[in-house]
Amino acid sequence: MTGTGFPRLFAPLDLGFVTLPDRVIMGSMHTGLEETGDWARVAAFYAERARGGVGLMVTGGMAPNSEGAVLPGAAGLFTREDLANHARVTAAVHAEGGRIAMQILHAGRYAYSDGAVAPSALRSPISRHVPRELDAAGIEKQIADIATAAARAREAGYDGVEIMGSEGYLLNEFLAPHTNRRSDGWGGDFAHRMRLPVEVVRRTRAAVGADFILIYRLSMIDLVPEGQTWDEVVRLARAVEAAGATIINTGIGWHEARVPTIATSVPRAAFTWLTRRLMGEVGIPLVASNRINAPEVAEAVLAEGAADMVSMARPFLADAEFLAKAKAGRAGAIVPCIACNQACLDHTFERKVASCLVNPRAGHETELVYAPAPRPRRIAVVGAGPAGIAAALVAARRGHAVTLFERAAAIGGQLDMARRIPGKEEFEGLLAYYRRAVAAADIDLRLGTEASPDLLAPFGAAIVATGVRPRDPGIPGRQLPHVLGYVDVLRGRAPVGERVVIVGAGGIGFDVATFLAQDGPSPTTDPALWRREWGVGDPALTRGGLAAEGPRPGPSPREITLLQRKPGRPGRGLGKTTGWIHRLALQGKGVVMRGGVTYEEIVPEGIIVSDGPERADPRLIAADTVVICAGQEPERSLLDALAGRGIPAEVIGGADRAAELDAKRAIDQGSRLAARL
């Protein structure tokens, strides 16, 4: 079968001067690779995706000038040396039969520097820099610099450019009254507010010639007050087409918006209704984006006429062969992106190279290689959680004979709990993938089997991935019947009362609070409910598309209090790009969050806490149920037993180090160990 399962996805698209092989764009992602200065690595990253079937990809945002750079020193295309570096990338992609467009991103007031410029001198709530208001000469310079960057991109061998006009960056800032307070010819009514983006497209087209792909990324819904109206979106789309754009891509929400737009709790294809509404208003192809992560979802978007193309970005970090597998009728073998942001966007914000939780090779293509093993061995892996599964899959792929022991009746470990949390439904897909992959990989899976030193002794190598066990925080009264562990709660093994106190506000404390605060279906599986919960309205009714009534989360069936000993607001340690979503969601459900407590004693009526190490003001928080989410300890009993018998073993995942364990570290460690065995 060759792509027959996804006829619309694999239908070619004729752009007049070039025909694209399918309806997919690999969307722009900032990987941080260019900033390493290792351009062989940049080229390898993109080439691997072209080899995997991506017909057209867009690079991370390149600054057209220093004032437009997201950060000082961010990658751009300014010098002859830059040009030579970019040419290595384009040549590598072309050698694999792909096409590549360079995104030109002028950050406007989101530039994290004192040199930031904007339509008006208004600081963004997510920056501490007040931008300088551009004068007429400054505006002309920005247009000229963007057009020059596009011409250089062509010189460097790119097949096109994408002009970033959404997400609250410079061009979007000119469009919205929220940020454009000018009264000269570049502000005021919409004809003047859209003048800059349209002029940028016109001048860019003039600079690159007719036979060059020019994608304009257009904000369909700003999700900020005083954003654009739908009429303005349509007018801009028509003007951008007339000015010379080849394709219009979709942007959703500004970075400062308080609505999640790409996180895992956002329903799949949640925003394609906007692209669908724009269909027919312009003659050039429209691209839908955001939370499209599987070929079935992409095919459905195209089938319902919501777009001419789809953009997927993170799914190509998770699996560079996404399209090749879909085309070959092997969609079930695609490693799914779970939209967690943990190794991609969170890394970018921490100024680390982006990778992928489910695919540690992403961004590390030149260094982490799964080559055939020179001497295949018999390898025992104990524990089928994320670390053990990753190690088993990579070892088997390299030709080792792998036996995977799991004490439970199913594989998954902690993933099996994550999938039960409302908003984390994507983990179900990841688990399903792992079940298929383990079955297909010729791994001898022994479920319901407790591995012992006797069982492991005959193997050539043993990998211990026995995971973690919940920490007992030793609070007096913990043996009372209304005290539960998070495992019991998430697996539904014990009833939970209406007043709940959660001890521990790490990732699992937040997950348990989310689980217990949900009544009825998860909004992630019901887009209308989700829009209501987050206050997403219609830009045809309110500017920026924020619902006039604001967010209206469904009520929690329980009174929940989430506690931690650390002073300050719980949730600080959660993911950089997702922590705010978890905090806002729980606030919306009325969950009370307290830091700086000392646990005195659990009593039948609830829990007695005091303030800080000085234990001031002891008081009872009434609760029917107390749930302990106080972190984990490594489960090393097997490791100790092996050491006692002198049997060597490698240890990975939570069994190695439980502190700050997450699936990212577990999968990375398992994969890297198996890559060198």
Q: Alpha-carbon dihedral of residues 167, 170, 176, 179, nearest 10 degrees? A: 110
**Min separation Cβ 254 and ligand NAP, Å:** 24
Question: Backbone phi, then psi, for 170, in 5-degree steps?
Answer: -45, -55
Say which entry of ligand SF4, ligand NAP, none residue 338 contacts (CB below 5 to 8 A, set by partner kind): ligand SF4
CB of 661 to ligand NAP, least distance (A): 5
Q: Does residue 574 bind ligand SF4 (CB under 6 A)?
A: no
> Cα–Cα distance between 285 and 152 in angstroms, integer?
25
Catalytic (active-site) positions:
169
Query: Could you say whether residue 473 binds ligand NAP (CB under 6 A)?
Result: yes
The encoded tokens of residue 162 equal 């994408």
Among 238, 330, 565, 576, which residue interacts with ligand NAP (rule: CB under 6 A)? 565
* Residue whose C-alpha is closest to residue 112's, from 170, 67, 77: 67
436 is a site residue for ligand NAP (CB under 6 A): no
- Which of ligand NAP, ligand SF4, none sits in contact with 357, Cβ below 5 to 8 A by type? ligand SF4
**Is residue 337 a contact residue for ligand NAP (CB under 6 A)?**
no
DSSP letter (8 states) at residue 55: S
d(CA 656, CA 662) in angstroms, rounded, equals: 12
The interface region with ligand SF4, picked from 94-102, 111-119, 336-344, 625-633 by CB under 6 A, is 336-344
Q: Which of 22, 67, 426, 662 binds ligand NAP (CB under 6 A)?
A: 662
Between 108 and 412, CB nearer to ligand NAP: 412
**Torsion-angle region of 572 (φ positive above 0: left; ψ -120 to 50: alpha; else: beta):** alpha
Contact, 630 vs 524, CB < 8 A? no
Tokens 């984390």 found at: 424
Among the listed ranges 87-95, 163-171, 337-345, 608-616, the one in contact with ligand SF4 (CB under 6 A) is 337-345
> Could you say which of 236, 380, 508, 608 contacts ligand NAP (CB under 6 A)?
508
Of the candidates 239, 325, 258, the residue with the CA atom closest to the CA atom of residue 6? 325
Q: Is 338 in the site for ligand SF4 (CB under 6 A)?
A: yes
Q: Which stretch binds ligand SF4 (CB under 6 A): 140-148, 340-348, 522-530, 620-628?
A: 340-348
């892996």: which residue's tokens? 381
Q: Which of ligand SF4, ligand NAP, none interacts with 318 (beta carbon under 5 to 8 A by kind)?
A: ligand SF4
CB-nearer residue toward ligand SF4: 248 or 663 = 663
**Number of residue whose CB is nearest ligand NAP:** 506
Tokens 């969170």 appear where?
346
- 4, 44, 47: which is closest to 26 by C-alpha? 47
Instruction: Please count the other Cβ atoms lying within 10 Å of the Cβ belonging to residue 58.
Output: 26
Print the binding letters for residues 343-382 with ligand SF4: x by CB under 6 A, - otherwise. Answer: xx-----------xxx------------------------
- Give min distance, CB of 352 to ligand SF4, in A: 12
Tokens at residue 466, please?
Answer: 């026995």
Q: Closest CB to ligand SF4 among 32 and 551?
A: 32
Smaller CB distance to ligand NAP: residue 357 or 638? 357
Torsion, CA 190, CA 193, CA 199, CA 201, rounded to 10: -80
Helix axes 136-155, 80-95, angle to 10 degrees: 50
Name the strand (E) or helix (H) holding 395. Answer: helix 386-397
Nearer to ligand NAP, 142 or 342 (CB): 342
Q: Are 621 and 594 in contact (CB under 8 A)?
A: no
How many angstroms separate the CA atoms of 671 and 10, rounded?
Answer: 32
Site string for ligand SF4, 293-332 (x = CB under 6 A): ---------------------x--xx--------------
504 makes contact, choosing from ligand SF4, ligand NAP, none, with CB < 5 to 8 Å by partner type, with ligand NAP
Of how many residues is the chain composed?
A: 677
What tokens were used for 475?
A: 């609070």
Looking at beta carbons only, is 145 or 425 nearer to ligand SF4? 425
282 binds ligand SF4 (CB under 6 A): no
Alpha-carbon separation of residue 565 from 226, 476, 591 (angstroms): 41, 16, 17
Nearest distance, CB of residue 598 and ligand NAP, angstroms = 9
Interface residue list for ligand SF4 (CB under 6 A): 314, 317-318, 337-344, 356-358
Interface residue list for ligand NAP (CB under 6 A): 471, 473, 503-509, 511, 564-566, 575, 629-632, 660-662
